[in-house]
């Protein structure tokens, strides 16, 4: 059975990381960070926006800002022939 992440990459998804900065109601002067990572489609990010909708509905925290990084991991430039053998002892 193939890995779910590998199949997602073959379908055009890339690894998306979101750094969510937020405030809790019980500590409004403390800025906290939550890191979320999932395979998503850039530039629309439907999976991330679904998660952010869930956050707004279910989590008692005010979002301050969100930083997004996205990388498509499979591409032709990553594969090249190597002529040699590396032995590890």
pTM: 0.74
- Give the CA dihedral 48, 61, 58, 14, nearest 10 degrees: 10
The burial class, CB within 10 Å (0-12 / 13-18 / 19+), for 57 is exposed
The domains of the chain are located at 4-78
pLDDT single digits (tens) 32-79: 999 999 999 988 999 999 999 999 999 999 999 999 998 876 655 555
Cα 68 → chain centroid: 8
Whether 39 and 16 have beta carbons less than 8 Å apart is answered as: yes
What b/e readout covers 76-87, taking b as 16+ CB neighbours within 10 angstroms? eeeeeeeeeeee
pLDDT single digits (tens) 4-25: 888 888 888 889 999 999 999 9
């Amino acid at each position: 059975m193939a890995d779910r992440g590998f199949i997602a990459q073959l379908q055009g998804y890339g690894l998306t990381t979101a750094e969510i900065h937020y405030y809790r109601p019980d500590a409004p002067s403390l800025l906290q960070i939550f890191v979320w990572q999932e395979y998503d489609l850039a530039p629309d990010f439907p999976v991330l926006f679904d998660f952010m909708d869930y956050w707004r509905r279910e989590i008692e925290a005010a979002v301050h800002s969100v930083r997004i990084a996205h990388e498509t991991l499979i591409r032709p430039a990553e594969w090249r022939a190597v002529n040699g053998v590396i032995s590890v002892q």
